[in-house]
A and B are shown apart, each in its own frame.
Chain A
Amino acid sequence: MLSTRTLVYGALAATFVVALAGLSVFARWDVAHRPETHDGWQRIAWPFPRDGWNEGQAWRGHDMELYVRPKLGFCGNCDTGVVEDSEVDRVTDIDLVDPLFVPLEGQHIQIADLVGRMRLYRLRSRGDSQLAAGIAVSYNCDLVVALIVGKIANAEQRQIARKFLEADPVQFWVNRQLGEK
């Protein structure tokens, strides 16, 4: 028969093992649920209601929010890609941010190896002072669209967001959606 001391030590050891296991499970849960962060950007939930396209990635950082998602098969011309600013109006999610948006100037843009157009918008429903930038680049017949909202009045800020679009966390995900091109 086991002594009382042995039983107490055994119980303590068992408790210690269970506590360690619990801690390990919690640590894994914590890591899995901790917001993903990269270079000052923190991953946030996709903020828009469900539509015909799959949800994208949303990030917040540097006083901006960035929304990006592929739209497979949505490119108007698979040969030329996105060459018109009006196509950026149509295909980006700018209307989800502000259905009353006012288009401003556009320019050619390259994100990693994809090319297309970027266009600025004035957000009328947010008092006309806020801007957004819509980006549409293509790979064959597939589009990748992005939207930058927040403090984007100067080009340097927009450049930060653009660099993040080219960074690994976004690019790995986008490439997977495109069948790794």
Chain B
Amino acid sequence: MSESARPAEPIEDFEDLYDSAPCGYLSLTDDGRIFLANRRISQWLGIAQAELIGRRIQDILSVPGRIFYETNISPLLRMQGFVDEVAMDFLTADRIKVPCLVNASERRDSEGRLQFTRLAIFQAAERRRYERALIDTAEATRAEVTSERETSQLREQFIAVLGHDLRNPLASIASGVRLLTDRETLSVKGQRVLLLMQGSVGRASDLIDNVLDFARGRLGGGITLNRDAQAPLTPVLEQVVGEIVSASPERDIRTYFAIAEPIDCDRTRISQLLSNLLGNAVMHGAKTEPILIEAKSDRERFTLSVVNGGRPIGEAAMARLFQPFFRGEIRPNQLGLGLGLHIASEIAKAHEGELTVASDESHTRFTFSMPLARRVEDPD
């Protein structure tokens, strides 16, 4: 067994380390001139070491690199004494760019005066190309998002304008129908047709209101309330029910109102909410079962619920019920925009209240509930 001598520790050759290090080294005088350069950087740039000496660092940088050096790197060096991970393009003797990453630090004397600046330069063509691709992708994505956003805003504005413009002809139709109902003698069949038309006009008008509210909400306006703490709510709710009853005379719709008036709320909005809930119940509830509307108030809260029979709402549907454009399982003759419940829940929120739903095999119940904290007490 031979005695194997431990190999001697290798001795680093510092002169060679400087010249052949796997990175370029430059040392700059206080006014930015190269006074020392290693062989590596000389090889990369194809410029002899001796020829680099005395040149200004800016002379071997690309134009953007030169501007960035003057406006950012040089101030940073003076302020903090170093910079790390700066991207710079150096220029070869043939003015071809060599993409690099650079760390630099200042050497200062005991008084803090700058003696010289050292640069360590790493070729980074691959990495810089990869980063450039990332930046390009990010910029392309940003441009796409901006353009999409503009398009969708335009679309929403268009919807808002369209909805608004539809109101006028619809109002003419409504007053025409009213005129015929009040002033003309019509056959039984004619009266039935007018009744249907009235219901359709009402529904169309509700749809427009919902679309307008939705567009306004998306455009940043949100649901605005016009509260009235004095006027009674019951007659307004009764009117909504009356309209639906006359449009769907075959349905059994029952009301239980026990409201301690007045309720401090936006009555137009609450009737829009009820109209949406009731329209929903008529459309989706079992035709053979009654629809119940309960409205009541105690000292703390006002609650309004609409109950219908029929199949329960599935769990998946439940989760998205109040989202805009949700339409459940679409069946023939049940087309709508799917905004009704969304707007109703927005109206509830605007009243600092909530809209909830409970659904089982026997009933589906939507309940709107709002606090009465804002209630104005009778002065006495």
Decide whether A and B are members of one complex.
no
Chain B residues close to A by CB (< 8 Å):
none
Chain A residues close to B by CB (< 8 Å):
none
